[in-house]
Amino acid sequence: MKKMLLFAIITVMCSFQAKKTTKIVFFGDSITEYGVRPDGYITLFQQKLKDNGKAGDYEAAGAGIGGNKIYDLYLRYEDDVLTKTPDVVVIWVGVNDVWHKRLAGTGTDYDKFGRFYTALIKKFQAKGIKVTICTPAAVGEKTDYTNELDGDLNKYSQAIRDLAAQNNCGLIDLRKIFHEYGLKNNPENKDKGILTGDGVHLNAEGNKLVADIMYQSLIK
Amino acid sequence: MKKMLLFAIITVMCSFQAKKTTKIVFFGDSITEYGVRPDGYITLFQQKLKDNGKAGDYEAAGAGIGGNKIYDLYLRYEDDVLTKTPDVVVIWVGVNDVWHKRLAGTGTDYDKFGRFYTALIKKFQAKGIKVTICTPAAVGEKTDYTNELDGDLNKYSQAIRDLAAQNNCGLIDLRKIFHEYGLKNNPENKDKGILTGDGVHLNAEGNKLVADIMYQSLIK
Amino acid sequence: MKKMLLFAIITVMCSFQAKKTTKIVFFGDSITEYGVRPDGYITLFQQKLKDNGKAGDYEAAGAGIGGNKIYDLYLRYEDDVLTKTPDVVVIWVGVNDVWHKRLAGTGTDYDKFGRFYTALIKKFQAKGIKVTICTPAAVGEKTDYTNELDGDLNKYSQAIRDLAAQNNCGLIDLRKIFHEYGLKNNPENKDKGILTGDGVHLNAEGNKLVADIMYQSLIK
Amino acid sequence: MKKMLLFAIITVMCSFQAKKTTKIVFFGDSITEYGVRPDGYITLFQQKLKDNGKAGDYEAAGAGIGGNKIYDLYLRYEDDVLTKTPDVVVIWVGVNDVWHKRLAGTGTDYDKFGRFYTALIKKFQAKGIKVTICTPAAVGEKTDYTNELDGDLNKYSQAIRDLAAQNNCGLIDLRKIFHEYGLKNNPENKDKGILTGDGVHLNAEGNKLVADIMYQSLIK
């Protein structure tokens, strides 16, 4: 009888061990920094896990810092991501790499964007971490390609799509998703107020959409 | 008898006066500066006038200077255009206003682009000169909006379309025409070599297309 | 007797005519726009005229607009300055021509700065207006040439000094004056708070100094 | 007797081991890339070692790549420097961090310049490598602070001086040395042709001066 109990306890313990939690870290700029706010996309993603009874299987954390470009992520990936021992890293960066060219003369050269991004992916993959990468969603929400930075954002987004293919990463093509959402939901061709509050940072609708897409893409 | 002769002479003289030549000045940047070269669009335009027996009715001249932005045109319109006493001025500018933001930190603010353009149109119209304005054709010929400056060029092109409507100017929408030409003739999505040699300056095909379009738009 | 009276009246009238008021217009950017505020340098200049019993001899007006560069002044000199029928125009511009290169990618090329400045001076001089020009005082008040834009501001200031000599203009070398003031009064090498509130716009001390210097230079 | 011989051999061998060669790697941008050319400063430095009979004690190698900024060095320090197992690393960078703001909109933010520089120093020091850092010499050789980028270069140079003090690095203050050299040897205030060929890259005189200064600073 005692043996049976012991066996049962061991079985349950083993099953707990087997049911390992998958840790996901969202790594990015201000959009991700705001993602952990009560209405942010990471918070909504966590809520979704709870609602679907997956809160024991997955854990999500944010590692976003405002103003970050790809090389800033490279500088801090050890301190801010590896220390969290993630199983999955979602990288979402690119807006500042393009925007800061105009804003401060300190954007990221196109060739170096690819070089740092590749190096960052390889550092994570060398640790056995799964990497999913995202295209920059928007700087301005007009749908007719008259947002000032559309050309450069499209160029850098294409680079990210190529990087995903070359490095066997997951890809979440937020630029494409936001553009298609705008074609349906932005008939007046507004430059903000659809999925963002200011053309860049997510509003309630944007946080909801991004949380849904991240969930579909990352959670089995 | 003498009276008859005098009458005939006067009649002929009057008819010569009536058959006044229409002077067209093309006013712009390096694209127009190169337009007067042997294979340039202005030279081809002049040839077309001859071929169609219109060389007596129309005269065409170039007034392009490399690197010019809208405010450079405003600074030199008196010396370089009014002195040619044109009946028609075709303004084609905008590439440098956008490009020089990136290249040298000296592009033209969007609001000031409109302000100088309006002032220039009004100066010509106040002299009874007809004004036709053109959108900037291209900085890069890719058709999927991944040329770095596509967004800003589209934004400034829209401003030019609006200016034409507001000021009763002719409009030659070269940006639209080049884009549509590319959709048909640039299946590999090349960034140059279709209508331009370097993404900006016209090649033989480009000069031919622009000469044709200018002719259709300006010559009755 | 009547003749004597008539003669006296005429004499007085002539003397009134002779005692013509000299109109001075200060033409520039936000620094000059703020100059007409109650504590601004133009207001202090006007007060100084009153205190010295010169208010009948001189009139001063401001024509400053925030964000203006040299070519903006060229665009609006007729509407905003010539309509005031000035005898003297003081031009103070240059900060934005340099600063906007960094801030928005829309500064003024060095060669075009000189070209527009020369054209503007000549337009005024052709109307018989005396022209005095000023060097840009400061973007940052550090005295050891570690303000980010010091090199470019010094370069453009030298151009202005040369322009004054070439065109027989008065010169008020505010950059030199501010630098020397800082060497005496800014021992801690602060970047603001000496003659400016923010490194660019005059504080109370700055308005007082500029009013004094303008007065010494312009009033006999 | 045999034992004596063996002992002697071992002693000699040990003394050879003790006389270890010190490896110096010069790490930087195009100026250092050109430093390994036949007339470059690194080649002259190596010649100087030979001339002084120190070629057995010291070894020098270059690791310069054109266009590099501080974060580019950070990206490649493992592959390009650590693999050379240096005892001393000399970092000379900064020109592009400032210049590319204007040239391409892709310079380095001031705060991030310090952050990457600190991280790079610490990576080397953690491996027991001695680090000597250099201020950027010049972009333009005028001595009156009218080179366009003087202000920003002075600002970044000051940051480097502070970094050397904070991190116990050697400092070679090339900006100060070049400026003082110019005050003595550039009476006409030329913008190039003194120690550089183009305002940035060393000419024969510049290579000689830098080799001398590096030698004095690094070799005992």
Here the ipTM equals: 0.89
**B149: chain D residues, CB-CB within 8 Å:** none
**Facing residue for A105 by CB, picked from D74, D101, D119:** D101
Q: Say if the Cβ atoms of B104 and D102 lie within 8 Å.
A: yes
Strand partners, A62: A26
Q: What is the DSSP string of C123-180?
A: HHHHTT-EEEEE----SS--SSS-STTHHHHHHHHHHHHHHHHHTT-EEE-HHHHHHH
- The CA angle B60-B64-B66, to the nearest 5 degrees, is 160
pLDDT at residue C5, rounded to an integer: 64
Q: Say if the Cβ atoms of D115 and A75 lie within 8 Å.
A: yes
Range(s) of the domain holding residue A194: 19-218
Domain-located, residue B101:
yes
Q: Say if the Cβ atoms of C116 and B74 lie within 8 Å.
A: no
Question: Which residues of chain B approach chain C closer than 8 Å at the C-beta?
Answer: 71-72, 74-75, 100-102, 104-109, 112, 115-116, 119
Domain-located, residue A105:
yes
Q: Say if the Cβ atoms of B151 and A155 lie within 8 Å.
A: no
Where does residue B142 rank: exposed (0-12), middle (13-18), buried (19+ CB within 10 A)?
A: buried
Label residue A46 by pLDDT band (50, 70, 90).
very high
- The CA angle C35-C37-C42, to the nearest 5 degrees, is 40
C-alpha pair distances (Å), D150 with each of B73, C159, D157: 32, 17, 10
Q: Say if the Cβ atoms of C147 and D146 lie within 8 Å.
A: no
Residue D23: name the closest of D119, D114, D129 by CA: D129
Total number of domains in chain B: 1
D94-115 CB burial, b ≥16 within 10 A, e <16: bbbbbbbbbbbbbbbbbebbbb
Cβ A73 vs Cβ A27: under 8 Å: yes
Measured CA to CA, the distance from residue B20 to residue D68 in angstroms comes to 63
Domain-located, residue C9:
no
Of chain A, the percentage scoring pLDDT greater than 90 comes to: 90
Q: What mean pLDDT is reported for chain A?
A: 94
Chain C nearest CA to B74, separation (Å): 8
The label of the residue with tokens 């020089």 reads B100
Q: Pairing relation of β-strands C58-64 and B22-28?
A: unpaired
pLDDT at residue D2, rounded to an integer: 63
Tell me phi and psi for residue C158, to 5 degrees: -65, -40
Q: Say if the Cβ atoms of C102 and A102 lie within 8 Å.
A: no
Domain-located, residue B55:
yes
Tell me phi and psi for residue A215, to 5 degrees: -65, -50
Q: What mean pLDDT is reported for chain C?
A: 94
Q: Which two tokens stand for residue C69?
A: 């560069």
Measured CA to CA, the distance from residue B40 to residue B204 in angstroms comes to 8
Residues in chain B: 220
Neighbours of chain B (3+ CB pairs under 8 A): A, C, D
Our separate counts of H helices and E strands in chain B read 9, 5
Q: Pairing relation of β-strands C22-28 and B58-64?
A: unpaired
Q: Tens digits of per-residue pLDDT, A121-165?
A: 999 999 999 999 999 999 999 999 999 999 999 999 999 999 999
**D102: chain B residues, CB-CB within 8 Å:** 104-105
**D155: chain C residues, CB-CB within 8 Å:** 146-148
pLDDT at residue C124, rounded to an integer: 98
Q: Say if the Cβ atoms of A104 and C102 lie within 8 Å.
A: yes
**Beta carbon pairs, B and C, within 8 Å:** 46
Strand partners, B24: B60, B88
Domain-located, residue C7:
no
Neighbours of chain A (3+ CB pairs under 8 A): B, C, D
Domain-located, residue D14:
no
| 3-class secondary structure per residue, chain A | CHHHHHHHHHHHHHHHHHCCCEEEEEEECHHHHHHHCCCCHHHHHHHHHHHCCCCCCEEEEEEECCCCCHHHHHHHHHHHCHHHCCCEEEEECCHHHHHHHHHHCECCCHHHHHHHHHHHHHHHHHCCCEEEEECCCCCCCCCCCCCCCHHHHHHHHHHHHHHHHHCCCEEECHHHHHHHHHHHHCCCCCCCCCCECCCCCECHHHHHHHHHHHHHHHCC
Label residue D20 by pLDDT band (50, 70, 90).
confident
**A151: chain B residues, CB-CB within 8 Å:** 140, 145-153
pLDDT at residue C123, rounded to an integer: 98
- pLDDT tens, N- to C-terminus, chain C (220 residues): 566 666 666 555 555 555 689 999 999 999 999 999 999 999 999 999 999 999 999 999 999 999 999 999 999 999 999 999 999 999 999 999 999 999 999 999 999 999 999 999 999 999 999 999 999 999 999 999 999 999 999 999 999 999 999 999 999 999 999 999 999 999 999 999 999 999 999 999 999 999 999 999 999 8
- Name B65's Cβ contacts closer than 8 Å, sequence gap at least 6: B29, B30, B33, B72, B76, B80
Region of B90 please: left (phi>0), alpha (psi -120 to 50) or beta. beta
Domain-located, residue B72:
yes
B143 has pLDDT over 60: yes
**A112: chain D residues, CB-CB within 8 Å:** 72, 106
Q: Which two tokens stand for residue A127?
A: 């640790």
Measured CA to CA, the distance from residue A43 to residue B154 in angstroms comes to 37
Find, in chain B, the residue whose alpha carbon is nearest to that of C70. Answer: B71
Chain A nearest CA to B87, separation (Å): 34
Q: What is the DSSP string of D124-185?
A: HHHTT-EEEEE----SS--SSS-STTHHHHHHHHHHHHHHHHHTT-EEE-HHHHHHHHHHHH
Measured CA to CA, the distance from residue B201 to residue C38 in angstroms comes to 54
Domain-located, residue C8:
no
Question: Which residues of chain D approach chain C closer than 8 Å at the C-beta?
Answer: 101-102, 105, 140, 144-155, 158
A86 has pLDDT over 90: yes
**CATH number reported for the structural domain that contains residue A95 in this entry:** 3.40.50.1110
Residue D113: name the closest of A106, C215, C53, C194 by CA: A106
Interface test with D, best of C95, C142, C144, C150 (most D CBs within 10 A): C150
**B150: chain A residues, CB-CB within 8 Å:** 145, 150-151, 154
- Stated pTM of the model: 0.90
**C101: chain A residues, CB-CB within 8 Å:** 105
Identify the three-state secondary structure at position D15. helix
Q: Say if the Cβ atoms of C101 and B105 lie within 8 Å.
A: yes
Where does residue C145 rank: exposed (0-12), middle (13-18), buried (19+ CB within 10 A)?
A: middle
Measured CA to CA, the distance from residue B123 to residue C128 in angstroms comes to 24
Residue C98: name the closest of B105, D145, D143 by CA: B105
**Facing residue for B75 by CB, picked from C74, C102, C109:** C74
**C109: chain B residues, CB-CB within 8 Å:** 100, 104, 106
Helix (H) or strand (E) holding C54: none
Q: Say if the Cβ atoms of C158 and D146 lie within 8 Å.
A: yes
C-alpha pair distances (Å), B142 with each of A111, A207, B183: 18, 33, 9
**Facing residue for C150 by CB, picked from D105, D151, D158:** D151
**D102: chain C residues, CB-CB within 8 Å:** 101
**Beta carbon pairs, C and D, within 8 Å:** 46
Neighbours of chain C (3+ CB pairs under 8 A): A, B, D
Q: Tens digits of per-residue pLDDT, A159-208?
A: 999 999 999 999 999 999 999 999 999 999 999 999 999 999 999 999 99
**D148: chain C residues, CB-CB within 8 Å:** 151-152, 155
Find, in chain B, the residue whose alpha carbon is nearest to that of A145. Answer: B151
Average pLDDT (D24-33) is 98
The label of the residue with tokens 């061991």 reads A10
Where does residue D118 rank: exposed (0-12), middle (13-18), buried (19+ CB within 10 A)?
A: middle
